[in-house]
Amino acid sequence: MIFKNWFLYIGLLIAFAACNSKTNKDPSKNKSGGPVTIDVSLARLQEFSNAVEANGTVLANEFVELKPEISGRIVVLNIQEGRQVAEGTLLVKLFDDDLQAQLKKYKAQLEIAVQNEQRLKSLLSVNGLNQQEYDQALTQVHNIQADIDYTIAQIRKTEIRAPFSGTIGLRSVSKGAYVSPQSIIASLQQTGILKIDFVIPELYASMIEMGKEVKVIADNPNTAFKAKIVAKEPQINTATRNIRVRAVLQDNSGSLHPGAFVKIMLDAGNNQKAILVPTNCIIPDTRNMKIVLIKGGKARFTVVETGYRNEEKVEILSGMEQGDTFAINGILFLKPDADVIIRNVKS
């Protein structure tokens, strides 16, 4: 029994040693400091269109939430959801019988006060009374007229009219409901003209010109629009170092809706030639950007200056030259001056 246990123990040791030897044959995973197998590419000049891509949001040209100025009960609700309304259309009317009665009272008082003022004016012209009595009558007329104007202003507050022509949204109240200035009746939007708000890094702030065209790409890849820049924020956001820009487009197709996400393509100049590398080849450092060059069979971590970038490639402004060999994978396993084995040279 003892000999059988020894033979079993020795067999396990041999199997473990064989497995460990097989694992160490993969140079890309060798932890003993051996060479790492990688794929490389050669730096060369490539043509590219220097376009800046940004994320944007579609906004209505005009947008307002319809709210009453005073509290009251709705007696007229002229809101047809999803329909076009003209500027000045009466949409909501609150109960105002008390104000209308008060207005009639003031108008009656004004009529009597005006007649009294006219009589006293005739007497004043023949020295039948003193100036002070006439002035009191005239003041009474002005006070009642002011009360009438105030009451009319209060009556206007019981009405909600369309401030501009647009499309009515979904209403959230019914006729007869009691509403307050915090109540949202519905929304009104002008969607014939749309605004596109987007942000770009401060590096490209000089590219923003009033009237310059940008391409607006919706979720559907085949749907693209042209918009013109109309304004930008005068100050750069100190937290993000971005600048906010607004463009306007005329969308007659109705395929874009306020609140939608779009991509903005901003042309930064004519087609150019430059050294481009895949974005995954760039190693961000605390202060610099680095790339791994392969020289003499060793990995050289080199500081580079980057420029234009998109989702796939980054422009190298300095730090690399045409013909340089750089690593395109296995970068996480590389260390400075590490020996490498080149598996493939990819374009």
Domain range enclosing 109: 101-147
Has residue 299 been placed in a domain?
Answer: yes
* pLDDT for 347: 73
Domain boundary among 243, 267, 291: 267
Burial class (CB in 10 A: 0-12, 13-18, 19+), 180: exposed
* pLDDT for 28: 44
Has residue 172 been placed in a domain?
Answer: no
Has residue 72 been placed in a domain?
Answer: no
CATH number at residue 203: 2.40.30.170
pLDDT tens per residue across span 231-261: 999 999 888 889 999 999 987 677 888 999 9
pLDDT tens per residue across span 261-285: 999 988 766 567 788 898 888 888 8
**What's the domain count of the chain?**
3
More confident residue, 326 or 34: 326
One domain for residues 303 and 259: no
> How confident is the model over 74-80, as a mean pLDDT?
95
One domain for residues 282 and 294: yes
Of the CA atoms within 13 Å of residue 253, those in its CB half-sphere come to 8
pTM above 0.75, yes or no: no
Distances (CA, A) of 2 to 5, 8, 10, 13, 199: 5, 10, 13, 17, 78
Has residue 92 been placed in a domain?
Answer: no
Has residue 162 been placed in a domain?
Answer: no
Distances (CA, A) of 152 to 1, 60, 70, 104, 123: 112, 33, 14, 11, 33
One domain for residues 246 and 277: no
| pLDDT-derived band at 111, boundaries 50, 70, 90 | very high
